[in-house]
Structure 1
Amino acid sequence: MDTVTPVHLLDGLPADAEGAALRALALTNYGHFTSLQVRGGRAQGLALHFERLRLGNVELFDEPLDEDAVRGWMAQAAAGGDCSLRVTVFARGFDHRQPLRRVAPDVLVSASAPAPAPASPLRVQVRHFFRPVPQLKHVGTFPLFHHRRQAQMAGFDDALFVDGGQARISEGTVWNIGFWDGVRVVWPQAPALRGTAERLLQLGLAANGVAQEIRPVSVDELPAFRAAFACNANGVQPVVAIDELDYPDEPELRALLDAAAAHAPWEPLSP
């Protein structure tokens, strides 16, 4: 299938890079988004992505989301091809000095080259951080990328976040983490952005009869697990090291996760 030409649609029209709307998005750090992979004009977990956008709109703007319009713009941007798709909701009229003033949200749909499935395993560094307003996928991404940069400067690939008190594991910079104890998949319970890929894997594992548990996981417990993995919209990636602790890439776990990821249907973007 053809890869789409990069395109940016603002409320369904070609976005003007010099326009006031995009300047507002760049200068006012207030909005929310979702990201997904599209193949042949189809994507997995569309209901979850729209649930995320719907909740973000209510919390940030007290406004409903015109889901039919947004879905049409997504299909327009993808043009039936393969791409990485991002839907960002902001408001060019938002004024931080009057945050309660009602404004009409704007929707920027961006299609770019499709992201390949991650091929290399991850070595991650534990860093103390909890994202603010973790229930929303908001545009305040500075601390995520700062911590990733700091981890890479220390010789790792990425950062894994824990709280500063109980050292409970929450999530990675732009991914969720799961652990394998040889019998079940354990998902850390902590304030974090619950990703669509994580939720789709949970549904797929349940459908395939794989045991799962959601509970707090501390750094001290990590040696008891046999393997770990990261997941986001780009796919599943083995985590082979957390600080000085090494994990093998377990073929059994990889097969279970591949089967779970394939469980969700690919749905057409066109309404």
Structure 2
Amino acid sequence: MSLAFLDGQPATADDLRALALANYGHFSSMQVRGRAVRGFDLHLQRLKAATRELFDQTLDEARIRSGIISALDAAGMDDAGVRVTVFSRAFDSLRPDRSVPVDVLASLSPAREAATTPAWVKTFAFQRPLPHVKHVGTFPLFQWRRQALRDGFDDALFVDARGRISEGSVWNIGFWDGEQVVWPQAEALRGTQEKLLQAGLAEVGVAQRHMPVEARALGGLKAAFAANATGVWPLSGIDDLALRPDPVLMERLRAALQAAPLRSL
């Protein structure tokens, strides 16, 4: 099931066609529980900043909230996966420099939690263009995930031209060296869940460090995990390196997320 609403009204085929054909815009995905979102302020910041960068427009927070609430009302849902996409039906690919009004599309899907099954991932040399923006150019993300699955892995993990680990297909990655959480330092989309984890771990006194992590030099790292809006899950291996999921670490990570309050829409 997937439902789409444009500024609170059911999206038409023409609305969706404009987005699909131009394929220019950005989005943020979140999990809504009881009409509240953990880290909602981070999603608002992301959507507003990307709208300024891609469209030179100001996006009002009230419009984002209203679009989500209207969509939930129309669908009769309190719990859902929500993707807010900002694009413009007036966008002209021949003159992308022109100032155009933006549209806010709220898409609803069933609520989802991260799987607890450990994932074994395969690395690919790839750098997302404009990595700090969660833009709609997702083709390579799913193509590399598809290739990973065809090769017998569970997902794709990206490394940059220098061999440094950056991010997963639609998730961020962190490591545990036995004493601290290590966040790989490279150009990547810094996810809302990653930021919540970092804040939560700091509150409970878990040491953290940001540093370059090379995919070919993981010997000193004892465990790894992935995180996105659905939650956190352990990694059981990267390429030919087996990793042992750490139950204690996973409990700490989940507790760190739970420490972040749910914010009403």
Q: What range describes the TM-score normalised by the shorter chain of this pair?
A: over 0.9
- Shift, 1:73, TM fit: 1.5
Cα shift readout 1:94-136 (whole Å, capped 9, x = no counterpart): 1111011110000100111111331211110011001000010
- What is the aligned counterpart of 1:72 among 46, 66, 72? 66
SS for the counterpart of 2:256 is: helix
Alignment pair present for 1:224 and 2:213: no
Cα shift readout 1:209-247 (whole Å, capped 9, x = no counterpart): 000001111113212101000000011010111011011
Q: In the alignment, which residue of structure 1 is the partner of 2:163?
A: 167
Q: In the alignment, which residue of structure 2 is the partner of 1:201?
A: 197
- Consecutive unaligned residues of structure 2, counting only runs of 5 or more, are none
**C-alpha contact (below 8 Å) 1:82/1:114 kept by paired residues:** yes
SS for the counterpart of 1:249 is: coil
Q: Give the count of matched residue pairs.
A: 262
How far, CA to CA, are the matches of 2:130 and 2:184 in structure 1? 18
- What is the aligned counterpart of 1:102 among 99, 103, 117? 99
SS for the counterpart of 1:240 is: strand
Cα shift readout 1:178-206 (whole Å, capped 9, x = no counterpart): 00001000000100000000000000000
Alignment of 1:1-271 (within 5 A): 6-16=2-12, 18-19=13-14, 21-79=15-73, 81-164=78-161, 166-269=162-265
Compute the RMSD of aligned alpha carbons.
1.1
Cα shift readout 1:58-94 (whole Å, capped 9, x = no counterpart): 0100000021021012122234611000000000111
Equivalent position amino acid for 1:213 in 2: R
Q: Percent of aligned pairs with the same residue? A: 53
How far, CA to CA, are the matches of 1:217 and 1:117 in structure 2? 25
How far, CA to CA, are the matches of 1:37 and 1:43 in structure 2? 6
- Consecutive unaligned residues of structure 1, counting only runs of 5 or more, are none
Equivalent position amino acid for 1:253 in 2: L
**C-alpha contact (below 8 Å) 2:82/2:108 kept by paired residues:** yes
TM-score (normalised: structure 2): 0.96
| Displaced runs of 4 or more, over 6 A | none
Equivalent position amino acid for 1:211 in 2: A
TM-score (normalised: structure 1): 0.94
